Structure 1
Amino acid sequence: MIRFFTLLLLIVLPLGTFAQTEDNPVVWEQQINKISELEYELVMQATILDGWHMYSQFTSEFGSLPSEFTYNGNGTVYELIGGTTESETIKEYSEIFEVEETYFKENATFTQRIKILDPAINQIDVDLFFQVCEEVCIPMDKKFIFTLDGTKAEVITTVDDRSLALGQELRLDLKNKELLTHGQDTIAETTNIWVIFGLGFLGGLIALLTPCVFPMIPLTVSFFTKHSQNKSKGILNALLYGFFIILIYFLLSLPFHLFDSVDSQILNSIATNVWLNLLFFVIFIFFAFSFFGYYELTLPSSWANKMDDASSKVGGVLGIFFMAITLAIVSFSCTGPILGGLLGGTTLAEGEVASNLTAGMTGFGVALALPFALFALFPAWLNSLPKSGGWMTTVKVVLGFLEIGLALKFLSNADLVGHWGILKREIFLGIWIVLGIAMTLYLFGLYKFPHDGPIKKLSLSRKVAAFVSGAFTIYMILGVTNITNLKLLSGFPPPEFYSVFEQETDCPLGIDCYKDFDEGLAYAKKVNKPILLDFTGWACVNCRKMEENVWSDPEVFPIIKENYILISLYTDDREELPEAEQFNFQFDSGRVKEISNIAQKWGTFQDVNFGSISQPFYVLLSPDLKVLNTSIQNSDVPTYKNWLLEGLRNNN
């Protein structure tokens, strides 16, 4: 697991080359050689951009991703003779994975012999998945089409008539579409970014209280103020040090913007992927036990030593930059889990995931850098700093409990998207209640963890934290027993209809809804009612907040239930479409996207017709597809109520 985080940082840390990365670092050529009447040789040659490398099929399974070939039609119209051979490779030991890796530089050649089984065949299709890396690693796909008669093979960029017809059905002939351009997307995304920045800033403040960072503050500030030629120079160096800390955490987020350039929906797809959410669950449990003191999560000490040596040798501004990198490395055992929480939290936030991550990481860096700048300007304040001690261990343990709570959210996401029915709402809240009780008892000093020292007397702050934890636990108990609502937790537990008790409907708040647009549209025409089109997700936090805080309001609920036909389209539902409904969708740009599950269908439907990929996203339509009002996302009760009423007026 430590190796996983090390790899993650290796991918995102060296961002100086990010802006210089070519869009296509590997150029492919292909040829087919006829051996006999029934045997052919397929040759695929790669020219790799200078500085980049791609991995062999036979690189260690415990290292980077290998190249994988898929021969479509193998065993039916032709068969493979032996395996796919490779040109000369390079073998090198990876300190990250602790295995020997095999890869190509500059060029690579793959050769595969085949025997024809069906004389009528004239085309061989081969799919290749490979990973190409410089300091940023990019997974890529390549399709080869070989013709046996020697004519030039071209990759097909069009789709068949059936797919064209199904793709056309996905496009709506909207009236008043110009209203959509005046919706609240920009406002919502801007607000969301500032919220994420604030959460990142809060995470940075928490990181300052950990034993990996807190003791570094007086030591570092004293170094700059005492070892500089004059006071002003020392202050300037400390400010520069703080700036570089912010810059490093800002740069760490930039590679995630690479995904946005590949596919507008790829980050949403990643964030709602069942297996990735399960991986996050395991990661956060692993983080939690490191905070509990059962083991230490560290990056290789050689990294810190190299950065420290570099700062000593080069000196000046560059030396201060290397000192900032050294801080980021040596404090990783405490900041890593918090940064992991920030990374995970951005996948729970709606909007542009990469932009959210940049805002959060920048906020984290600002909070981490702030004391170094302030104490350099006002060194007398150092005397007011509390002494390091057991209180920092308590902070780490509390963070451990919070990490487990967040881990359960990822497990819940996987459960909801996968429709497993394992972590229903009551079970989820029950586990959170147990965690709350355990944290409260710990804060009251009733038990200890391995790295806790003897408890002589509980501090006032620890008692206050214990009472807050206990009060929150009681609040959850009252919510589970329906004595009060849990609106403060809206979005984190599974929705109310996802219950261990049998529900009449799996629609929000028990409102009758349709989960297929065509079915909902047909019913809206039948009863002549306008449509509330709800782009949502099983794992969408803000969707649950809107449903439980806004839709449930007595002034809003009856308007939706009595006056609108609700169509809820889930853009993270991984359930496979029936084979007859699967097709390839061609965008206006010519790009072709496979539509094989519900998420891909409704995510593309939203993108193409409404120019948005975020959730929640609400549109009001008449039965004849006239846009009745601006689109809207997160909102308060008065605004949402007026929005619904205006839509009704415009429908008349």
Structure 2
Amino acid sequence: MKKFITLFIFLSAFALKAQTENEPIKIETSVKKISETEYDIIFDAKLYKGWYLYSQYNPDDASLPLEITIPEGETGYQLIGKAKEEDTFKKYSDVWLVEEVVFKEKAKITQRIQLTNKKITQVKLNFFGQVCETACINIDENFTVSLTNNPIKISNTVDERSAALTKQLKLDLKNTALLINSSDTNSESSNGLFSIFFLGFAGGLLALLTPCVFPMIPLTVSFFTKQSQNKKKGVFNAILYGFFIILIYILLSLPFHFLDNLDPEILNTISTNVWLNIFFFAVLVFFAFSFFGFYEITLPSSWGNKMDSASSVGGIIGIFFMALTLAIVSFSCTGPILGSLLAGSLTSDGGATQLTAGMTGFGLALALPFALFALFPNWLNSLPKSGGWLNTTKVVLGFLELALAFKFLSNADLVAHWDILKREVFIAIWIVIFIGLALYLFAKIKFPHDSPIKKLSFSRISFGVLVISFIIYISPGVLKNPTWNLSLLSGFPPPQFYSIYEQESDCPLGLDCYKDFDEGLAKATKVNKPILLDFTGWACVNCRKMEENVWSEPDIYQTLKDDYILISLYVDDNEKALPEVQQFDFLKANGKIKKIETVGDKWSTFQVINFKNASQPYYVLLSPDLEILNTSQQYTDRDTYYSWLKEGLENFKEKVSKN
């Protein structure tokens, strides 16, 4: 099972590298005339360092092989055999346990065609392939190639004004080899997947403690262990039932990968879209009140009835439909938790990949009891009896859903610059929500489906005390000068400078910063100080964690304040339009056109053009003459970051002394 989960997460990782706004492969086409009816169409591809394109001869039981085909509806020409490949390599795959055939850094692929209509002057070919590093992106592009020139390269074009403005974004960087820091990035991506997996697992455990799921455990396990005279077969069926539960929840995440393949940027933009964040806020509030018991969210009863009828087929198919029936009838309890998982995953860098990891964890947590109790049926006797505590669990989850909902409303407020949900307002709302939870736990308020409480249980009192402790912890956050900085919540409330109180600056921690690169560069040149280039975002959780937990450390704060010029570029500032004269069309490496209309568009494109990266936070140390002073850095710990800053500063001083 562990191997299955690891393998599926890897296979589903279409979106992980959607962090790069340009696909990690650039393809150009040319044509060579062979005869009056035969031509060679040549695909010249360049890949980002560390990425692989898989050959058309890659084994069937491995990563997707390359395919070159004629799009549907195109006539007048045909392919002659398979394309010829140059510069292929073989590498062993630890995932597939086979030797794969790949291109790395560059690829030259030549497809010969034959005209069946000599009047044709151009042809169209579809290039479908998979490029992978720690995760994979599918490339599915139609290329139109003219046959009238020999050779000719085809690409989209932009007007001279757009080309000139694009050129202005390109920096003349020196020492760019230091930007290669893939090992740290890969580790972070892996850690992010495992984190969301365990969050999904925790959500599944919570779902087990709800009235829709918990009573099903002893009934289902008893059914499997008693229906068969062969005990081993009964245990096997129960384990298979659990496996199908995991599979069903994984399958629910697959449609989001198809969205990601249609447009690799689609999921990456969700976290910065004002209206989608408001939608998530409304959905989670709706789910919260369902948990409170004011209404019930259910799928059509006919669905459950049909799946229940199908389960009577027996055998493996019957067990699958039994698992599907559980997923449907338990939706009123699992739906709100899954909704939170969906919203949280799709508004993070990992997109659909993290959603799959979370769904895998959720399904595993739901499935484990059925397998474990089938293996050890005596454990069933130790299960607590169903009762009012199940509804209490639902209500507690409702309060947590309500608190989480305001995170999405906060994202919308930050990106749109409405100045409504300031940090202190956000924390005050959380205080009210958790006071409500404390009052509920101490039986001072009730909800529709609560049972009468004669005496508070020890667990209820203990959890109530824990909630009160949390309220005490966050309460100083509403003050101008809080006693502590709420480091445990970093990334959830708005940044500290987004305050109802007057602040020294609108930069993190009151530091001086520039939000325009040219202005910051001019200042650095004037005072001859190195630059800390900070690619950040209003809705970036890890950016806030770095600012509030790492930058706030006295030695780091002092270094940033005294020794560096800080330039913070907000890549998700998509509500602030650029002046019309600064708006232009940007030709991406894959030949697509991107409209540069907002401040966020400009700085996100600026990051990709110059640093081949689109994740945040992303830090680069530069000298005023644009020499890179150290490796690029991303989300990391305090000691690593401080050492990185000091090393960059020493490199700058050494450079100055030589000049």
TM over 0.5: yes
2:510 is matched with which residue? 510
CA RMSD of aligned residues (A): 2.4
The C-alpha deviation readout for 1:195-254, integer Å capped at 9, x for no partner, is: 111111111100100011111111111111111241100111111111111111112222
The amino acid of 1:159's aligned partner reads V
2:414 is matched with which residue? 416
Find the residue that maps to 2:453 and give its secondary structure.
coil
Shift of 1:557: 0.5
The amino acid of 1:335's aligned partner reads T
- Decide whether the 8 Å contact of 2:346 with 2:352 is kept in 1: no
1:483 is matched with which residue? 483
Find the residue that maps to 2:534 and give its secondary structure.
strand
Mapped partners of 1:267, 1:285: distance in 2: 22
Matches within 5 A, 1:278-293: 278-293=278-293
CA gap 1:373/1:539 in 2 versus in 1, 3 angstroms? same
2:326 is matched with which residue? 327
Shift of 1:24: 13
The C-alpha deviation readout for 1:52-85, integer Å capped at 9, x for no partner, is: xxxxxxxxxxxxxxxxxxxxxxxxxxxxxxxxxx
Could you tell which deviates more after superposition, 526-535 or 168-177?
168-177
- Decide whether the 8 Å contact of 1:531 with 1:567 is kept in 2: yes
CA gap 1:372/1:26 in 2 versus in 1, 3 angstroms? farther
Find the residue that maps to 2:407 and give its secondary structure.
helix
1:650 is matched with which residue? 651
Mapped partners of 1:409, 1:221: distance in 2: 39
1:214 is matched with which residue? 214
The C-alpha deviation readout for 1:16-39, integer Å capped at 9, x for no partner, is: xxx99x99999799xxxxxxxxxx
Mapped partners of 1:587, 1:172: distance in 2: 17
2:145 is matched with which residue? none
Shift of 1:176: 2.2
Matches within 5 A, 1:91-102: none
Could you tell which deviates more after superposition, 340-349 or 454-463?
340-349
Shift of 1:636: 1.3
CA gap 1:23/1:460 in 2 versus in 1, 3 angstroms? farther
Shift of 1:545: 0.9
The amino acid of 2:534's aligned partner reads D
The C-alpha deviation readout for 1:476-519, integer Å capped at 9, x for no partner, is: 11333323321111111111111111222111011111111222
- Decide whether the 8 Å contact of 1:207 with 1:213 is kept in 2: yes
The amino acid of 1:174's aligned partner reads L
Correspondence 1:401 to 2:399: yes
The amino acid of 2:173's aligned partner reads L
The C-alpha deviation readout for 1:557-603, integer Å capped at 9, x for no partner, is: 01111111111111111111111111111022212111111222222
2:500 is matched with which residue? 500
Mapped partners of 1:188, 1:244: distance in 2: 30
- Decide whether the 8 Å contact of 2:272 with 2:539 is kept in 1: yes
CA gap 1:168/1:611 in 2 versus in 1, 3 angstroms? same
1:247 is matched with which residue? 247
1:109 is matched with which residue? none
Find the residue that maps to 2:269 and give its secondary structure.
helix
2:627 is matched with which residue? 626
2:166 is matched with which residue? 167
Unaligned runs of 5+ in 1: 1-11, 13-18, 30-141, 143-154
1:583 is matched with which residue? 584
Mapped partners of 1:233, 1:440: distance in 2: 47
CA gap 1:26/1:203 in 2 versus in 1, 3 angstroms? farther
CA gap 1:435/1:23 in 2 versus in 1, 3 angstroms? farther
1:200 is matched with which residue? 200
Matches within 5 A, 1:33-432: 157-183=156-182, 184-313=184-313, 315-349=314-348, 351-432=349-430
- Decide whether the 8 Å contact of 1:536 with 1:571 is kept in 2: yes
- Decide whether the 8 Å contact of 1:226 with 1:234 is kept in 2: yes
TM score, norm. by length of structure 1: 0.75
CA gap 1:174/1:251 in 2 versus in 1, 3 angstroms? farther
Mapped partners of 2:532, 2:187: distance in 1: 21
TM score, norm. by length of structure 2: 0.74
The amino acid of 1:326's aligned partner reads T
Could you tell which deviates more after superposition, 286-295 or 539-548?
539-548
Mapped partners of 1:551, 1:343: distance in 2: 31
Mapped partners of 2:483, 2:512: distance in 1: 26
Shift of 1:407: 0.8
The amino acid of 2:437's aligned partner reads M
The amino acid of 2:532's aligned partner reads L
- Decide whether the 8 Å contact of 2:407 with 2:492 is kept in 1: yes
Find the residue that maps to 1:555 and give its secondary structure.
helix
- Decide whether the 8 Å contact of 2:531 with 2:622 is kept in 1: yes
Mapped partners of 2:305, 2:357: distance in 1: 30
1:557 is matched with which residue? 557
Percent identity over paired residues? 66
Shift of 1:624: 2.1
Find the residue that maps to 1:158 and give its secondary structure.
coil
Mapped partners of 1:216, 1:416: distance in 2: 43
The amino acid of 1:519's aligned partner reads E
- Decide whether the 8 Å contact of 1:265 with 1:613 is kept in 2: no
Shift of 1:525: 1.9
The C-alpha deviation readout for 1:257-276, integer Å capped at 9, x for no partner, is: 23433444332212210000
The C-alpha deviation readout for 1:351-402, integer Å capped at 9, x for no partner, is: 3222211111111111111111111110110110001110011111111111
The amino acid of 1:181's aligned partner reads I
- Decide whether the 8 Å contact of 2:204 with 2:363 is kept in 1: yes
- Decide whether the 8 Å contact of 1:246 with 1:365 is kept in 2: yes
Mapped partners of 2:427, 2:403: distance in 1: 10
Mapped partners of 1:519, 1:379: distance in 2: 70
2:471 is matched with which residue? 473
Mapped partners of 1:220, 1:491: distance in 2: 41
Unaligned runs of 5+ in 2: 1-11, 13-63, 75-141, 143-153, 655-659
- Decide whether the 8 Å contact of 2:268 with 2:347 is kept in 1: no
Mapped partners of 1:27, 1:293: distance in 2: 52
Mapped partners of 2:169, 2:73: distance in 1: 34
The amino acid of 1:273's aligned partner reads N
The C-alpha deviation readout for 1:163-214, integer Å capped at 9, x for no partner, is: 1111122222322222222242111111111111111111110010001111
Matches within 5 A, 1:531-610: 531-574=531-574, 575-610=576-611
Mapped partners of 1:264, 1:533: distance in 2: 26
Mapped partners of 2:281, 2:73: distance in 1: 39
1:616 is matched with which residue? 617
CA gap 1:185/1:489 in 2 versus in 1, 3 angstroms? same
Shift of 1:626: 2.0
The amino acid of 2:200's aligned partner reads G
CA gap 1:548/1:263 in 2 versus in 1, 3 angstroms? same
Mapped partners of 1:264, 1:175: distance in 2: 30
CA gap 1:28/1:278 in 2 versus in 1, 3 angstroms? farther
The C-alpha deviation readout for 1:275-298, integer Å capped at 9, x for no partner, is: 001111111110010000000001
Shift of 1:448: 0.4
Mapped partners of 1:404, 1:27: distance in 2: 49
The amino acid of 1:632's aligned partner reads Q
CA gap 1:234/1:405 in 2 versus in 1, 3 angstroms? same
Mapped partners of 1:216, 1:356: distance in 2: 29
Mapped partners of 1:249, 1:644: distance in 2: 44
1:456 is matched with which residue? 454
The amino acid of 1:306's aligned partner reads K
2:47 is matched with which residue? none
The amino acid of 2:460's aligned partner reads R
CA gap 1:264/1:172 in 2 versus in 1, 3 angstroms? farther
Mapped partners of 1:295, 1:266: distance in 2: 33
Find the residue that maps to 1:266 and give its secondary structure.
coil
